[in-house]
Structure 1
Amino acid sequence: MAKDLPLLGAALSLDMLAHHRDWILADQRDIELQSFCWPNSSDADLKAMVARAKDLLDGYEGRLGLHGPFTSFNIDCADPEIAEVIRARMLRTLEICAELGGDQMVIHSPYTLWKEADRQANPATGFIQVERVRYVLSPVIARAEELGVTLVIENVEDLTPSLRVELAAAMKSKAVKVSLDTGHAQFMHRRCGAPPVDAFVNAAGAALEHVHVQDVDGYGDRHWHPGQGTIAWHSVFAALARLPKMPRLILEVNDEAGLRRGAEHLASLGLAR
């Protein structure tokens, strides 16, 4: 039955939340707001944006998350002065998440092809990298625990599906789990020989609490609608169905105005609604 299928949510700017508000509220779909992660918003801008978000969320009873900041930095930063800026950016967005009633914030994995190769060549590098992440994120994790917000680490240039899962576990906090971006995984699969997308689901297992649903052709990070790229969606949703709990499934496409096209495609395949 359709009601037994996973319910798709959406990653939206405030403008696009206004555009899709009726569709979201009709089924109380999961939302990930993406207007608060950019570095060029002043405190005054953010205050106005929070007020607008509260108006748009009036009547919303679903699960809300925010995309955390990521531009121009990495969470394994070794420079203590830059680490302070990273923390400030993350803490600012974390406070907004809690003020809006959100309980999830997406952050980016630190792993890259270069860093993974370095880990293999020098085993000490992996330990150092985890400890750098711990150093940068410790105040953020502590505040997330206080606010009841879970940080979910999203794969970006990850080649090995298990690394960020192990990283999340190493933080030793219930407030740190895992996200999967299907398009990022497919890009790394097609361009760099990473395992296919369903293997990323399997590697994350019960730690997977959030999924960015987008399609690519394997050439770039396209953020196309599901069905426009090369992802084998049946295998992905079969892997998701084997998890002990279905993570939030968040459509994250460049064509935000037309994002229902992807939802309709997955529905036509009998995979989601």
Structure 2
Amino acid sequence: MSATLPVLGAALSVKSIPAHTDWLLARQRDLEIQDFFRADLLDSDWRGTAREIKSMLDGHTGRLGIHGPFWGFTIASHDPMIRRAVTKRLLQGLEVAEFLGATQMVIHSPYTTWDANNIDMLPDAREALIERVRATLSDVIASAEQANCELVIENIEDKNPQDRVGLAKALGSSKLRVSLDTGHANYAHHSTGAPPVDYYVDAAGDMLTHVHLQDTDGYADRHWAPGEGNIRWIAVFRALSKLTSNPRLILELRNHDHVKLGAAHLASLGLAE
């Protein structure tokens, strides 16, 4: 990140983009579209929704991404049949991304709270998980490379901030990096004994190219606007300021009407614009 203040982006949907168009265009903010993780949409007329979104974004030159599919599966399944289904879903997500001209797709980390205590108990279990993910993602990564669309692995239950970073490095693609969800990390910190959020930034370093900014109380995945919870935002942005990877800073809030409120709070702290 540069010495100038970073410009915030947002995660929005076909329903909420219109209310934020002026805000997005004024600073050409990064945008993550959050309609296409839904299986029902991917299996129906997703192109119609995508065309509608494209028409809304006329004149937008900020970086564009999507949240990929994630409901109901892990990218580290032991079952080859399930892995094939997951591969198919993620390839559907990439097809949408390419249609939209999106250059980033968020996918979910496979590491669980259980793994934090158990994965290193059994010989080679950590390596076996990586190989299961490789089996799931090999075709997805190849397609992402061809489409020039970066995949970013978002922490979900991850208690060890190094786990998904090591996974991304092990798979060895320039189009596979990591995402940080600040609220997920804060939940893990308070509820499962993980380190604080800024440690997740430091652990990822320049492998971090995407951040979901959301606040929590550390008890649940609130997706509140920054300022409503107890995340130490100054520490988080201090850690982000050390990076040269220029991560997309995406406000991902449960109530999209609070995006500008959350952005204003971070601006009032002198952390972002």
- Give me the TM-score of the superposition, normalised by structure 2: 0.97
Give the Cα separation in 2 of the matches to 1:42 and 1:8: 28
Q: Is contact 1:234-1:271 (8 Å) kept? A: yes
Cα distance, 1:43 vs structure 2: 4.3
Equivalent residue, structure 1, for 2:56:
56
Q: How many aligned positions are there?
A: 271
Q: Which letter maps to 1:269?
A: L
Q: Is contact 2:42-2:92 (8 Å) kept? A: no
Give the Cα separation in 1 of the matches to 2:130 and 2:42: 32
Cα distance, 1:99 vs structure 2: 1.3
Identical amino acids, percent of aligned pairs: 51
Q: Which letter maps to 1:141?
A: I
Question: CA offsets per residue over residues 58-77 of structure 1, 9 Å max, x none?
Answer: 11111000000000000001
Give the Cα separation in 2 of the matches to 1:78 and 1:120: 17
Equivalent residue, structure 2, for 1:200:
200
Give the Cα separation in 2 of the matches to 1:261 and 1:193: 30
Question: CA offsets per residue over residues 156-183 of structure 1, 9 Å max, x none?
Answer: 0000000100000011100100000000
Q: Which letter maps to 1:66?
A: I
Equivalent residue, structure 2, for 1:138:
138
| DSSP 3-state at the match of 2:65 | strand
Q: Which runs of 5+ in 2 are unaligned?
A: none
| DSSP 3-state at the match of 2:129 | helix
Q: Is contact 1:150-1:177 (8 Å) kept? A: yes
CA RMSD between the two structures: 1.1
Equivalent residue, structure 1, for 2:84:
84
Q: Is contact 1:118-1:125 (8 Å) kept? A: no
Give the Cα separation in 1 of the matches to 2:75 and 2:44: 26
Cα distance, 1:185 vs structure 2: 0.2
| DSSP 3-state at the match of 2:212 | strand
> Kindly tell me: are residues 132 and 256 of structure 1, through their superposed partners in 2, closer, same or farther at Cα, counting changes over 3 Å?
same
Give the Cα separation in 1 of the matches to 2:43 and 2:173: 30
In the TM superposition, structure 1's runs of 4+ consecutive aligned residues that sit over 4 Å from their partners are none
Equivalent residue, structure 2, for 1:149:
149
Give the Cα separation in 1 of the matches to 2:43 and 2:67: 18
Matches within 5 A, 1:1-273: 4-41=4-41, 43-273=43-273
